Amino acid sequence: IVILLIASTLAVFYPVPDYGFVKWDDPKFVGENPHLNPPSMEGALYFWKKQYEGLYIPVTGTLWSALAFFSMHVSPVSKGLNPALFHSANLLIHLISVLLVFSILRIVLG
């Protein structure tokens, strides 16, 4: 069942890393976010101290900061923020979430 869950999640989301940022909320939260672009420790700490766009998102902001740093300073594609890194991290989070929900259901339902 675990392999089927992983395979089905990957089947649905596998093309995601090839997509660019969407114009809906990615500019506001990632591309034009002054706390991520350019990435800095001060920018990462901002998310722990204050709300951003009305949301208190310290863990998400820290993850975005790490991805922005990696995208701009470590990634071979270093012309700004790399959407593939952000989308790949999102895919990984979806995989982990599917497995966590499955584990909870096994505990609850026996």
SS3 55: strand
- What pLDDT, on a 0 to 100 scale, did the predictor assign at position 70? 87
Of all residues in the chain, what percent carry a pLDDT higher than 90? 69
- What pLDDT, on a 0 to 100 scale, did the predictor assign at position 78? 58
Q: At what angle do helices 58-73 and 83-109 cross, to 10 degrees?
A: 140
Cα Rg, the chain, nearest whole Å? 16
pLDDT at 97 over 80: yes
Residues 27-77: tens digit of each pLDDT: 899 988 999 988 899 999 999 999 999 999 999 999 999 999 988 877 666
d(CA 27, CA 100): 30
- From residue 49, how far is each of 52, 64, 80, 86, 107 by CA, in Å? 10, 16, 26, 23, 36
- What pLDDT, on a 0 to 100 scale, did the predictor assign at position 81? 85
